[in-house]
Each structure stands twice: as C-alpha cells, then as structure tokens.
Structure 1
Amino acid sequence: MEAAVDPTVAPSGTGCAECEADGGWWVHLRRCAACGHIGCCDDSLARHASAHWRDTGHPIIRSFEPGEDWFWNYDANEYYDGPELAAPECHPEDQPVPGPRGRVPQNWMTQLRQRGD
C-alpha cells in the first residue's frame, strides 16, 4: 500500500481542483496521498475526491481540513494509518466551510438535500 502514499508530494492547491476550474463550491476538502490532488468530499455536490480515486486508482486520501489528520482508504472502505504529508496539511484556516468564499449559494443546504442520493 506504500505506493498509494507519497509523503513528499505537496497538495495541488488550497481548494478542489475541479471546482476551482468550473466555478463550483465544496463542503469539505480531501487530499490524495499519492499525488496531492485536492478534491471535494462526498458530502459535496460534485464528489471530486472519490471521482479522482475511480479515475486514477489512488485509494488513499487525507482530510485537508484544519485540525483533522485522518486518512481513508477507498479500496478497503476503512481508515488508514498514514504518515505525515508534505506541507501544508490543510486549506487556509480563514477559508470558510463550505467554500470558497463568495461562491457558496445561500441555499447550499437545500441543494445538498435535493441531490437525490
């Protein structure tokens, strides 16, 4: 499983790469432990972190939220005991959740409830 984690790779940015590209928004952020890709969590509308896993086969993510240091293994569907990763460990603490500032719709909670899981 060590090939699934590269502790030397920096995160791809401070927000979800795909949401940033298309003007979207996210609830929480996750960091790929193999390549540093930042994607939005499965509570977000777009679920880019798990899409990244399905597209690349990179199964290990780490929370990219301030104060959280847990890892998740998508393949095993369980927590993973991972190493310290290259800085930064989280998005900027002044970045709101959900985020990013200025793009989260006022009815964001309604949108999440209506997504039809």
Structure 2
Amino acid sequence: MTDAVNPTIPPSGTGCVECTEVNGWWVHLRRCTACGHIGCCDDSLARHASAHWREEGHPIIRSFEPGEDWFWNYDTNEYYDGPELAPPECHPLDQTAPGPSERVPKDWMMQLQRRGD
C-alpha cells in the first residue's frame, strides 16, 4: 500500500482540477494521497475524486476540507489511518462549500436532488 500514499506530494491546487477547467462547482473536495490530485466528492455532480481512483488506480484520498483530517480507501471502502501530508491540508478558508461561491448555482440543492442516485 506504500505506493498509494506519498506524503511529500503537495495538492494539485485549491479546487477540483476538472471542475475548474470547465468553470464548474463542487460540494466538497478530496485529495489523492498518491499524486495530490484534488477532485470533487461523490456528493458533487461530477464525482471527480472517485473517477480519478477508477482511472488512475489511486485508492486513498484525504478530505481537503478545513477541520477534516480523515482518509478513505476506495478499494476497501473503509477509513484509512494515514500520515501527515505536505501542506496545505485544506482549501483556502475563505473558499465556500459548496464552492467556489461565484460559480455555485442558486438551485444547487435541486440539481443534486435531480441527479437521481
């Protein structure tokens, strides 16, 4: 499992890589512990963090939300006891969740409900 966690790799940015490329928004952010990729959580419309796991095979993520320090292993579907990672530990404190605030639609909760899971 040592390939799944590289504590020296910094996060790829302050927001979901793929959502940022298309001017999208997210509910919460997750950080890949293997490569630092920041993706949106499975409560977000696009679910880029778990898509990254499926595409790259990097199973362990850490929350990228302020005040949260939990890790998750997609392969085992269990929490993981991970090490301290390279800073920063979370997105900027002034960044909203959902965020970023200027891109979150007024009907964001309705959009999530219509997703149909």
Q: Please indicate, yes or no, whether the TM-score normalized by the shorter chain is above 0.5.
A: yes
2:56 is the counterpart of 1:56: yes
In 1, Cα distance between the equivalents of 2:68 and 2:101? 21
Counterpart of 2:110 in structure 1 is 110
* Percent identity over paired residues: 79
2:26 is the counterpart of 1:26: yes
Q: Which runs of 5+ in 1 are unaligned?
A: none
RMSD: 0.4
Instruction: List per-residue Cα deviations over 1:33-54 (Å, max 9, x = no partner).
Output: 0000000000000000000000
TM-score, structure 2 normalization: 0.99
Aligned with 1:109: secondary structure?
A: helix
How many residues end up aligned between the 2 structures? 117
Counterpart of 1:2 in structure 2 is 2
Aligned with 1:99: secondary structure?
A: coil
Q: Which runs of 5+ in 2 are unaligned?
A: none
In 2, Cα distance between the equivalents of 1:63 and 1:35? 14
TM-score, structure 1 normalization: 0.99
Counterpart of 2:79 in structure 1 is 79
